[in-house]
Amino acid sequence: MSVVKSELRRGHYCDSIVLMQLQAALAGLPGIADSGAVMATEANRQLLASQGLLPEDAGEAGDGDLLVVVKAEDENAAERALGQIDALLARRRGGGGEGYRPKSLAAAVRQLPAARWASISVPGRYAAELARQALELGRNVFLYSDNVSLDDEVELKRLAAERGLLVMGPDCGTAIVGGIGLGFANRVRRGAVGLIGASGTGLQAIASRLHQLGAGVSHALGTGGRDLSAEVGGATARQALALLAGDPATRVVTLVSKPPAPAVAARLLAAARSCGKPVVIDFLGYVPPVRRIGSLHFAAGLEEAAELAAELADGGPQRVAASGGEGYLRGLFAGGTLATETLLQLRLFLTPLASNAALAGVERLADPTASRGHTVLDLGADELTVGRLHPMIDPDLRLRRLRREAADPEVGLLLLDVVLGEGADPDPAASLAPAVAEIKRARPELAVVLIVVGTGDDPQDRDAQIERLSDAGAEVYDTVAGALARASEWALRPASLPAVEAGALASPPAVINAGLESFYSSLVDQGAEALQLDWRPPAGGDEKLIALLRRMR
Amino acid sequence: MSVVKSELRRGHYCDSIVLMQLQAALAGLPGIADSGAVMATEANRQLLASQGLLPEDAGEAGDGDLLVVVKAEDENAAERALGQIDALLARRRGGGGEGYRPKSLAAAVRQLPAARWASISVPGRYAAELARQALELGRNVFLYSDNVSLDDEVELKRLAAERGLLVMGPDCGTAIVGGIGLGFANRVRRGAVGLIGASGTGLQAIASRLHQLGAGVSHALGTGGRDLSAEVGGATARQALALLAGDPATRVVTLVSKPPAPAVAARLLAAARSCGKPVVIDFLGYVPPVRRIGSLHFAAGLEEAAELAAELADGGPQRVAASGGEGYLRGLFAGGTLATETLLQLRLFLTPLASNAALAGVERLADPTASRGHTVLDLGADELTVGRLHPMIDPDLRLRRLRREAADPEVGLLLLDVVLGEGADPDPAASLAPAVAEIKRARPELAVVLIVVGTGDDPQDRDAQIERLSDAGAEVYDTVAGALARASEWALRPASLPAVEAGALASPPAVINAGLESFYSSLVDQGAEALQLDWRPPAGGDEKLIALLRRMR
């Protein structure tokens, strides 16, 4: 019969490494079967409970309180172990000995003025304040800490952008700057691939795979997982693009992230297309049907991203000419799947994108008779074909709509499918070619892009159809992929990159580390100039006092 | 100043082709600027209104009523045009002359007993009844009609499955059976690729592209867009797989569809893996990170699907050995992106799949401390790391969870990442290898699959780590893709295919056509034996009378 006993120390902050070591030391004491040493957050208390390590009499506790638990063979062993806490913590505290450590960032910057970077891994609720101080001292920030609020992130990145500084994170697990890893980082060959990632282990997996494939990494810049949300707007990702665009060692950029918020996607893709280098993109779970758009290469996973980047890095320098059109796209489709394929392709290139078809990331049109911004319509949808022929047989409805869209001066590109074959309109060009000619006479700048689906054996005589439609002024593609590549290029508007301080990537970097000592040791092991801050929670971790101090600043 | 006038004929049914021709004829009359001729459904009335073709005095009307509208230069021209309706309809009616046409399916089957197929394109509200009759007469059904209810579809497919018959549709736009196109179909070379599609123009685009690439099509079988919904359960898709599996001309199968409902996906993929032939899969918008799993090849779009199929068809016969494991998968990840990549890979292979991470198609676990069925956990998620070290540094929590999962007899595969590099656990094998060895001693049949992310230059000595973990009994992969391919193969359980009547694919097919005459002409043009049914709505289209007649059967 084992007993579980605990000790709660209110307002006693411990570094996570200290907690891990305290827990391991307690578990090694005689008569102890298991142990826990945590800051008493709700989540940690639940975890202890699920491990049978939360005694009923543990009482109320909060994020700033230290909770130590032992599971022992009897009362005596438990009491003896809990009696050791101070000695174990003291042993740990005495283990240092690296000489003087500054207690503030300002002092650290005076001591190591070459440091362009502050690496911050203190608990989340203290991290934003420290990052703000670093920015005000003109330093770039690697912000490993998680549990930083979205509001704080937005504010920090606004401040950073004003100064041309970078904030990687919060919750940025990994980076490699000038060959030196910050946070978690694999030792990889230096090379031509620059990485940007809102995804820590994604960056690590790609970097490691590049190394396996014989390629190398110039820099790997993390952004934090929320950077591409609508609120943050991809601030760090766009700065990172600007830094790598200007970095002579980087020949290929690789971007890995969950799919951006639609409001952010088009702007980021346009920036990637305008950065002057090939960009491999792995938006986890988003793979457009056409995977190469000019200098943008979309990968279906971490493995493909690494393979594509290695291939491109191996291919020598490339001229990358950007493209882009103006106005709204209107797609008028007879084929439902062709409309869907178009939406799948364009939903991150043109945002917002509307349709009568339902698809994640696409706005649903309540009234399909009125287009709104960029719009792709399935004119063969059930609700539009009750008691009337499918538009693949009867062109009337689509031709009316085509003329209406062409008359809208905000429309810049019209995209239509022409499906040939048995059962379909025996001569689609007969009605469509005159309509296109009329549109092009009135508005020569308006692009009319047609996808012809069919074979040379189809009864409509495909080649003659294509010739008549081309003569009328349409751009005719005989594959879906060709037309979607054209529309995607048109969708990518020229974009400028934000101003950044190029010194951020100077090599090797000098770094001030606040938080996990293991990150400091790792910097030193890698040969970087580094300085460990002797950081403690302000006001002994007393939340009320901290808030008061903040207001007094 | 133009005038718009209309005429409403209650309970007057017209075939859609007749309506198209009536509208065109009216528009060509002197003094007429525009015209409309529709069955007066709500959607059609809205469309007319948006074209300025719905006079205010048009009155109430319903689906069974004929509405004819003209826009004329003056009252006289309008009246004259509307006065022509009967003459124009009569001219059309007299245009036939192909001899005797049976008025019922039963009579048609007596007249053309060789017909294994009924092609049905009558209005949706009459189509299910006709399809049911065809099945009861032992005929396979090509059901072009849309606006057929989901309940009717489920019932028709249940009836069809009982008899080993196929129902393609409802809303099936295209099929090619034994070289003859049904509905809309491109003329393509006959060849080794068998197509299955819940997507009409998707099938057409792939078939046309295969032809362009020099490949050919054995058969193309449509399923209707709802076939892979949870309600219908992929009934037709699985039958089509069975037919193509047994068809000697088909060497490669290609499946195109929107992503199946999760409840349907795993079963369908298992059937595809078990069908004995390579299968190219294009689930529009779903692309797993690892795109080849044994004989299954996932394409990112219509173009890639055609290219992959053409390549495989060119490659000669292939031995396809199925695989599959037992029990639940439990993934315990330190890396958030690695957990996401795993979910992206497995979400259609293992259903339902649960996680503490949010992702479409994945069930959210309210309590991450308790797994449920197939479960993949991100143990480095924000809510689990407040006041404690990330699992890439502190293995304690994950090892506890690993032992708990291994003790669950329903668990068949454990999947973990081991991320090496600067900043991470300096020796993960020290704690993980003994835990794996202990698990394998207790349950040798339990698969423990590890993904090691890192390089040979990492401080942990990657090769030594891999050796110690392998010696303990783990299957160790040094790429994410390798481990995910292994887990995907394990997920595909052996599956049997439904029984089907092989005569469905006999070539060339004989077809009874009910509905659009253009489909009948197209069958005749292609050299198929075909018979047109002289179909009229039962009871003159009177809904109440139809319901009464149905109850009396």
ipTM: 0.91
Does A43 touch chain B if contact means CB atoms closer than 8 Å?
A: yes
> Do residue A139 and residue A197 come from a single domain?
no
**CA count, 13 A, side-chain hemisphere, A246:** 16
Helix (H) or strand (E) holding A27: helix A16-27
> Do residue B449 and residue B351 come from a single domain?
yes
For residue A67, give its domain range: 3-93
The residue among A144, A150, A184 with the most chain B CBs within 10 A of its CB, best to mutate, is A184
Residues A502 and A151: their CA atoms lie apart, in Å, by 27
- A186·B50 Cβ contact <8 A: no
> Do residue A87 and residue A105 come from a single domain?
no
Q: Residue A94's pLDDT is what?
A: 44
- Let me know how long chain A is: 553
Contact B221, B166 (CB under 8 A): yes
A501 part of a folded domain: no
Of B93, B128, B156, the residue that ends a domain is B93
- A171·B51 Cβ contact <8 A: no
Contact A238, A497 (CB under 8 A): yes
Q: What is the pLDDT of residues A352-364, one digit of tens each?
A: 999 999 999 999 9
Does A397 touch chain B if contact means CB atoms closer than 8 Å?
A: yes
A186 part of a folded domain: yes
> Do residue A342 and residue A391 come from a single domain?
yes
Nearest to B20 by CA among A383, A419, A397, A378: A397
Residues B252 and B267: their CA atoms lie apart, in Å, by 20
- B187·A481 Cβ contact <8 A: no
Name which of A124, A344, A423 is nearest B518 (Cβ-Cβ): A423
Q: Taking CB atoms and an 8 Å cutoff, what residues of chain B touch A369?
A: 46-47, 50
Of A193-207, A509-523, B51-65, B246-260, the least confident: B51-65
> Do residue B237 and residue B305 come from a single domain?
yes
Contact A217, A248 (CB under 8 A): no
B500 part of a folded domain: no
Nearest to A441 by CA among A409, A465, A473, A413: A473
Buried b (16+ CB within 10 A) or exposed e, A154-185: bebbeebbeebbbbbbbbbbbbbbbbbbbbbb
Contact B432, B395 (CB under 8 A): yes
Q: What percent of chain A has pLDDT over 90?
A: 77
Q: Residue B315's pLDDT is what?
A: 83
Q: Taking CB atoms and an 8 Å cutoff, what residues of chain B touch A359?
A: 285
- B455·A208 Cβ contact <8 A: yes
Q: Residue A540's pLDDT is what?
A: 67
Measured between CA atoms, how close is A503 to chain B, in angstroms? 24
Nearest to B393 by CA among A148, A220, A16, A63: A16
Does A514 touch chain B if contact means CB atoms closer than 8 Å?
A: no
Contact B207, B217 (CB under 8 A): yes
Q: Residue A449's pLDDT is what?
A: 98
Residue B499 has pLDDT above 70, yes or no: yes
Contact A451, B208 (CB under 8 A): no
- A423·B39 Cβ contact <8 A: no
B504 part of a folded domain: no
> Do residue A180 and residue A237 come from a single domain?
yes
Nearest to B171 by CA among B203, B194, B195: B203
- Answer with the residue of higher pLDDT: A547 or B18: B18
The residue among B171, B204, B283, B345 with the most chain A CBs within 10 A of its CB, best to mutate, is B204
- A185·B421 Cβ contact <8 A: yes
CATH number at residue B517: 3.40.50.720
The structure tokens 């500054």 sit at A102
Residues A202 and A521: their CA atoms lie apart, in Å, by 24
> Do residue A159 and residue A181 come from a single domain?
no
Residues B379 and B199: their CA atoms lie apart, in Å, by 39
Does A191 touch chain B if contact means CB atoms closer than 8 Å?
A: no
Instruction: For chain B, positions 328-387, list CB contacts with chain A under 8 A.
Output: 334-338, 340-341, 344-345, 359-360, 369-370, 382-387
- B458·A336 Cβ contact <8 A: no
> Do residue B307 and residue B338 come from a single domain?
no
B502 part of a folded domain: no
CA distances A36 to A50, A204, A301, B541, Å, are: 12, 30, 38, 77
Q: Taking CB atoms and an 8 Å cutoff, what residues of chain B touch A388?
A: 16, 19-20, 38-39, 44
**Angle B397-B399-B404 from CA coordinates, rounded to 5°:** 100
> Do residue B271 and residue B199 come from a single domain?
yes
CA distances B25 to A470, B19, B21, B39, B96, Å, are: 29, 10, 6, 17, 18
> Do residue A166 and residue A180 come from a single domain?
no
The predicted model scores a pTM of 0.92
B498 part of a folded domain: no
Of A42, A63, A93, the residue that ends a domain is A93
Instruction: For chain A, positions 13-42, list CB contacts with chain B under 8 A.
Output: 16-17, 19-20, 23-24, 38-41
A78 part of a folded domain: yes
CA distances A359 to A347, B185, B331, B501, Å, are: 9, 26, 29, 36
- Under DSSP, the state recorded for B101 is -
A212 part of a folded domain: yes
* Secondary structure in 3-state letters for A357-386: CCCCCCEECCCCCCCCCEEEEECCCHHHCC
Name which of A41, A208, A385 is nearest B386 (Cβ-Cβ): A41
Task: Domain count for chain A, please give it.
Answer: 4
> Do residue B166 and residue B177 come from a single domain?
no
Q: Residue B96's pLDDT is what?
A: 45
Residue B88 has pLDDT above 80, yes or no: yes
Locate all alpha helices (DSSP H) within A251-327, ordered by sequence: 262-274, 302-314
CATH number at residue A38: 3.30.1360
> Do residue A155 and residue A121 come from a single domain?
yes
Measured between CA atoms, how close is B110 to chain A, in angstroms? 26
CATH number at residue A473: 3.40.50.261
Residues A129 and A133: their CA atoms lie apart, in Å, by 6
Nearest to A218 by CA among A184, A246, A257: A246
Q: What is the pLDDT of residues B118-145, one digit of tens each?
A: 999 998 889 999 999 999 999 999 999 9
Measured between CA atoms, how close is B340 to chain A, in angstroms? 8
Measured between CA atoms, how close is B284 to chain A, in angstroms? 7
Of B93, B118, B151, the residue that ends a domain is B93
Residues A301 and B151: their CA atoms lie apart, in Å, by 39
